[in-house]
Structure 1
Amino acid sequence: MAVSARRGAPLSIEEISSAALRLMDAGGVEGLSMRKLAAELDVNPMSLYHHVASKDALVELICATATARMRLPADDDAPWQEQLRALALAYHQYARQHPALWIHIHNNPRVIADRTMPLWQVLDRILRLAGVPEGELRRTSDVLHAFVSGLILSELQGHLPEEAGEIERSLGLAVELIVRGLEGVTRPRG
C-alpha cells in the first residue's frame, strides 16, 4: 500500500472510492479526475495508480459497488410487501444522494445488468417471497426496476412536481401499484 509523504498514512480503496464518489456528486463523472482526487486525498496523483489502473477503472469499481452502499432490507420475517417498500425507498434515496452516479450506471447497461449486484439478489429474494415463479423472476425484476427507474429519472430531470412531500407521495403511489400488482399476479386463482 502506498504511503503519501504528505499524509503519512496508507490509502485504502474504500477511502479512494468514497472521495471519488464525493467528487462525482459535486461535478458528475466528468468532474472526476485523478488529479482532483489526489488533491482531495492530499496525495501525489501517481500514488492512486497503486490502487486503480485508471479513472475508468475507478468509476467501474464505484458503479460495481454502488448497491453495496445502499441500506437494503434484511432477510427477516417482515412481510414481502414491507421489504419491497424498504427496497424501493433505499433505491430512491441512493439515487437522490448520488444522481450523477445513478445516471451514469443507467447510461451503461452493462453495469446495471450485472445480476451479482446485491440489489438484484435482494429484489429476487423479495419476489420469491411474493410468490413469483422462478422462471418469471428475471422478467419481473427487470420490469419493476424499469418502472421505478423511470420514476426516478423523471424526478431527477424535473418532470415531477417538487412541492413539499410530492416526490415521496409519487414514489409511495408507485410502490403501492407495484405491491398491488404483484399481489394480483401471484394470488392463487381458484
Structure 2
Amino acid sequence: MKVKKKKSFFKKFVFTLLLSLVVLSIVTVFILRKQVKNVMVWEDQVTTAAKQYGIEEYSDVILAIIYTESKGDHVDLMQSSESKYGTRNRIFTSEESIESGVEHLAEVIKEADAQKCDIWTAVQAYNFGSKYINYVSDHGKKNTLEISETYSRDILAPLLGNKTQETYFYKHPFALMHNGGKLYKDGGNFFYAESVKWNLKLVKLFSKF
C-alpha cells in the first residue's frame, strides 16, 4: 500500500513539475516575443541611422544593443546619454537616443577596424569606452570574456575609484554561471558583448513570428 502511495505521489510530482516547466516556457516565450516586438518598432529608425554613419551591415547588432539596454521599453533606448553628455538622463526622445547611440557605436567600430580588432571588441567598447580597444589590440585583437573581465577589474574599476576589487551582485545568467553573479563596482559590465551576442540571436529568432 505504501509503495503504491509513493508511486502515486511521485507521478503527481513529476506531472506537476513538467506542467510548471511547460507553463514557464510559454510565459517566457510570450515575454521574449513582446520585448523583441518592442525593439523591432525602431527597425526603420535604426536602419536610417546606420546608413547615415556607415555601419548599415551592423543594423542587427544595433537592434540587439537596444534589446540589451532597454528591451525597447525606455525613452533612452540605447542608454546613450552618458556617451553624448557624460551624465545620465539627458536624453528625452528615443530618436535622439538612437542617433547618439549609433554615432557612438560607429566611432568605436571605426577605431576597432583601424586596430584590426573584431566587432565584439567594438560592442564591448560601447559599454567600457574606446580605450578598451587599445587594450584588446595589445592582447590578441579579439574580445574575450577573460580580457574584458581583466580590463574591468584591473583598469576601469581602479580608474573610477574602485581600488579594492569591490563587487556587487548581478543577477544575469552569464554572471551566475561564470562567477556566481558578480560585477566590479565602477568597472562597467564585462559581460556586455556576450549579452549582446546572445540577444542578437533572440532578436533574429523572435522577429520572425
Do both share a fold (TM > 0.5)? Answer: no
What is the TM-score with the length of structure 2 in the denominator?
0.26
Structure number with bigger Rg: 2
